[in-house]
């Protein structure tokens, strides 16, 4: 029995040690503002990593570096290195559109396209040429909706507008849309902040299921959410990565005073 437990523990340790995203000395400037300072972190595969910290601490900025979303901001300048599976994502030869298919993103406010539920999910696979015919596309769309835990609720209205769904359903539609193109990493920027507790619980449950197949990075202002859904937590403050480690450790015995003050609600 002990041997079995040990084996399980070893497997868990092995899985945890598999690093998906490596960031080294990442700095971001928005014009004169130094928004992110020398951030280095290893993000494990098949786990949920939560970024927490007060507003303006750089956590969303860093999240947006992982799929080069900051490229779209003219005054943003990113230095340092970020690798996914050992591949430098800031390599000039890299196709950013392909990168964003590998690294999906879900935003704070659900933002379905003004199209049908079906088209919302089908859009990505279609422009990436991932489905040869209608049957293939149907399979991808239905499969993604199922994995996003939405299919049962929308199966009779696949042709209705996505914007007609409830907030929580719209957010799961956005998750289905993100996973339809078969990403490896899913970035979530406060995905539940516009949702009620029930819809939030569904998304959290979904994250727990999705991490079997994806690497998930979530920015959240809810510490309880970070504690519930993530395996690792990173605390950012004033553009600096202050502390990073196993979630249970960050929320029970943080090492840095700033982390302790923030998670216990003592920040002035």
Binding site for other proteins (CB under 8 A): 223-224, 227, 251-254, 260, 263-268
- Alpha-carbon distance of 21 to 177, in angstroms, equals 22
Minimum separation from the CB atom of position 135 to other proteins (A): 48
- Alpha-carbon distance of 188 to 121, in angstroms, equals 17
- Alpha-carbon distance of 102 to 185, in angstroms, equals 6
Minimum separation from the CB atom of position 260 to other proteins (A): 6
**62 versus 262: smaller Cβ distance to other proteins:** 262
Minimum separation from the CB atom of position 52 to other proteins (A): 11
Minimum separation from the CB atom of position 264 to other proteins (A): 5
- Residue among 258, 202, 195 at smallest CA distance from 228: 202
Minimum separation from the CB atom of position 62 to other proteins (A): 22
Q: At what angle do helices 134-147 and 117-127 cross, to 10 degrees?
A: 120
**208 versus 248: smaller Cβ distance to other proteins:** 248
- Alpha-carbon distance of 160 to 177, in angstroms, equals 16
**Helix, strand, or coil here: 216?**
strand
**219 versus 227: smaller Cβ distance to other proteins:** 227
Minimum separation from the CB atom of position 192 to other proteins (A): 16
* Contact indicator for 202, 149 with CB cutoff of 8 Å: yes
Which residues is 245 bridged to in the sheet? Answer: 233
* Contact indicator for 60, 36 with CB cutoff of 8 Å: no
Minimum separation from the CB atom of position 106 to other proteins (A): 25
**130 versus 201: smaller Cβ distance to other proteins:** 201
**136 versus 248: smaller Cβ distance to other proteins:** 248
**159 versus 264: smaller Cβ distance to other proteins:** 264
**72 versus 224: smaller Cβ distance to other proteins:** 224
- Residue among 107, 119, 110, 183 at smallest CA distance from 145: 119
CB atoms within 10 A of CB 212: 7
- Residue among 48, 82, 33, 8 at smallest CA distance from 207: 48
């Amino acid at each position: 029995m002990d041997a079995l437990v040990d084996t399980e523990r070893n497997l868990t340790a092995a899985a945890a040690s598999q690093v998906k995203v490596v960031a080294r000395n990442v700095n971001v400037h928005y014009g004169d503002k130094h928004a992110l300072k020398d951030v280095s972190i290893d993000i494990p595969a098949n786990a949920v990593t939560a970024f927490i910290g007060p507003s303006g601490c750089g956590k969303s900025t860093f999240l947006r570096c992982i799929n080069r979303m900051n490229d779209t901001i003219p005054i943003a300048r990113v230095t340092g290195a970020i690798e996914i599976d050992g591949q430098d994502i800031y390599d000039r030869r890299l196709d950013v559109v392909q990168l964003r298919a590998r690294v999906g993103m879900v935003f704070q406010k659900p933002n379905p396209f003004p199209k049908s539920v079906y088209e919302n999910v089908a859009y990505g696979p279609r422009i990436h040429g991932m489905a040869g015919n209608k049957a293939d596309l149907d399979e991808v769309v239905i499969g993604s909706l199922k994995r996003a835990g939405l299919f049962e609720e929308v199966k009779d209205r696949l042709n209705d507008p996505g914007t007609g769904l409830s907030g929580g359903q719209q957010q799961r539609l956005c998750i289905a849309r993100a996973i339809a193109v078969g990403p490896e990493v899913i970035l979530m920027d406060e995905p539940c902040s516009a949702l009620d507790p029930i819809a939030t619980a569904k998304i959290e449950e979904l994250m727990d299921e999705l991490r079997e197949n994806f690497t998930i990075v979530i920015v959240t202002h809810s510490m309880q959410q970070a504690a519930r859904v993530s395996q690792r937590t990173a605390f950012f403050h004033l553009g600096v990565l202050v502390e990073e480690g196993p979630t249970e450790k960050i929320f029970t015995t943080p090492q840095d005073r700033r982390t302790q003050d923030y998670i216990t609600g003592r920040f002035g």
